[in-house]
Homo-oligomer: A and B are copies of this chain.
Amino acid sequence: MSPIGKTRPTGRDRLRDSVLAGDLSFLLARANALTLAAANAALAEHGLKARSYSVLALAADDVRPTQRELAEFLRLDPSQVVALVDGLEKRQLVERRTDPADRRANVLVATDAGRALFARAQESARAVELGLLAAVTPEDHERLAQLLRLLAFPE
């Protein structure tokens, strides 16, 4: 039947018809792993990783997040946010301002240098994203984002 007579036929990605390949958790994990690796590779040029890029993005967005909000949003332990912000602050990309409305909290703001770097990094990020989505139409791209939002932000 099969044109190839070997015991291990297709060789390359035989596992793609396994049950696991239908598992949403697995697909998410694998898609995320590939995407994360690509993003990190592209951001390295700017001295960033996906994590620090995310923090910088939120700081540059004038949404003035507290560290706790950052932790919740990025699904990190608050102590990890401390380290992340330390790194960005040491590079003068970001500033901690104690929230006047709640002096326990720090609000994050990007410096001008931070905004400039973010703008450049965003270009790289966008390029990577487009590369990954080469096989996806713009409508499907948006549809994918919509569906992921449902998973990422359950009501």
A residues sitting closer than 8 Å to B (CB atoms) are 6-8, 13-36, 39, 50, 54, 57-58, 61, 63, 65, 69, 73-75, 101, 122, 125, 128-129, 132-136, 140-141, 143-145, 147-155
Question: B129, A57: Cβ atoms under 8 Å?
Answer: no
Q: A18-B61, A20-B57 are in contact. List 9 more A-B contacts (CB 8 A).
A: A14-B63, A23-B129, A24-B132, A25-B36, A25-B129, A27-B152, A30-B153, A132-B151, A136-B150
Question: B58, A29: Cβ atoms under 8 Å?
Answer: no
Where chain A touches its partner, the secondary structure class is: helix
Question: A61, B19: Cβ atoms under 8 Å?
Answer: yes
Copy tally for this chain in the complex stands at 2
Question: A152, B34: Cβ atoms under 8 Å?
Answer: yes
User: 9 A–B contact pairs at CB < 8 A?
Assistant: A17-B63, A21-B149, A24-B144, A25-B35, A28-B31, A29-B50, A30-B152, A134-B154, A147-B147
In the complex, what's the smallest C-beta–C-beta distance from A105 to chain B, in angstroms?
10
In the complex, what's the smallest C-beta–C-beta distance from A154 to chain B, in angstroms?
7
In the complex, what's the smallest C-beta–C-beta distance from A19 to chain B, in angstroms?
5
Question: B147, A136: Cβ atoms under 8 Å?
Answer: yes
Question: A33, B75: Cβ atoms under 8 Å?
Answer: yes
